[in-house]
């Protein structure tokens, strides 16, 4: 049976993640409400602006229910802003009262916009642990991981910075695989969801 994987539909490449998940073997659905969150087996948190997404999670009363689902072991994958939100700690979280709010999914510290501003966005091929060849990674105002806990596995680096991690059934990348047509990262996540 195909897992039902939600894509948090507040901002970002929602359509692209839905398509990638479908191609990777999941039943992909949008998640904007608590009732939708309760029907899924796993969640993808796409890119966007982490402080705006945090605000919307609070406004839609999804923040604490999402934290609870993650704490209960729901698999999750975060790309770019999704990586930031899945962190336990966010370095430079934003202006007071408008900061990004960590969901405490992965034991890591993440720095927002670590590679620079929009004009510093770039692409490149990076080796990815567990995949047979490098992935083409698109970095857009991307974060990087500054600290990982003992149970966190590093899956990829760019310029010596950690840009892909896994902890249990949680996955995070600072880049956007949904825009490249390469479905291997999404397939890895779908396989993680169905692991017993």
**62 lies in which domain range?**
4-194
> Known catalytic residues?
80, 176, 178
Poorest-pLDDT segment among 10-24, 120-134, 141-155 = 120-134
At 118 the pLDDT is: 66
Distances (CA, A) of 19 to 24, 100, 192: 9, 27, 18
Buried b (16+ CB within 10 A) or exposed e, 78-116: bbbbbbbbbbbebbebbeeeebbbbbebbbbebbbebbe
Q: How far apart are CA 64 and CA 81, in angstroms?
A: 18
At 93 the pLDDT is: 65
- The percentage of the chain sitting over the pLDDT mark of 70, rounded to a whole number, equals 95
Q: Centre a 10 Å sphere on the Cβ of residue 38 and count the other Cβ atoms it contains.
A: 11
Q: Mind listing the pLDDT tens digit for each residue in 80-132?
A: 999 999 999 998 866 677 788 899 999 999 998 888 766 667 899 999 999 99
Q: Does 133 belong to an annotated binding site?
A: no
At 138 the pLDDT is: 93
Q: Is the pLDDT of residue 158 over 90?
A: yes
Q: How far apart are CA 146 and CA 152, in angstroms?
A: 12
For 37, half-sphere exposure in the C-beta direction (CA atoms, 13 angstrom radius) is 21
Mean pLDDT of 171-182: 95
Q: Does 147 belong to an annotated binding site?
A: no
Q: Tell me the pLDDT of the chain averaged across its residues.
A: 93
Total domain count, the chain: 1
Q: What CATH number corresponds to the domain at position 172?
A: 3.40.50.880
Q: How far apart are CA 3 and CA 124, in angstroms?
A: 31
Q: Does 162 belong to an annotated binding site?
A: no
Q: Does 49 belong to an annotated binding site?
A: yes
């Amino acid at each position: 049976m195909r897992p039902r994987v939600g894509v948090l539909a507040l901002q970002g490449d929602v359509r692209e993640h839905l398509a990638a998940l479908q191609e990777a073997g999941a039943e992909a659905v949008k998640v904007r409400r608590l009732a939708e969150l309760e029907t899924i087996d796993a969640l993808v948190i796409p890119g966007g602006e982490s402080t705006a997404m945090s605000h919307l999670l609070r406004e839609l009363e999804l923040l604490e229910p999402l934290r609870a689902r993650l704490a209960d072991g729901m698999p999750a994958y975060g790309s770019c802003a999704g990586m930031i939100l899945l962190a336990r700690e966010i370095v430079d979280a934003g202006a007071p009262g408008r900061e990004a709010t960590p969901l405490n999914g992965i034991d890591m510290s993440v720095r927002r916009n670590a590679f620079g501003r929009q004009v510093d966005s770039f692409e490149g091929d990076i080796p990815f642990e567990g995949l047979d060849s490098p992935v083409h990674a698109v970095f857009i105002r991307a974060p990087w991981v500054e600290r990982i806990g003992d149970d966190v596995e590093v899956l990829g680096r760019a310029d010596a910075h950690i840009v892909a991690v896994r902890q249990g059934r949680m996955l995070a990348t600072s880049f956007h695989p949904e825009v490249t047509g390469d479905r291997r990262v999404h397939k890895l996540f779908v396989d993680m969801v169905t692991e017993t």
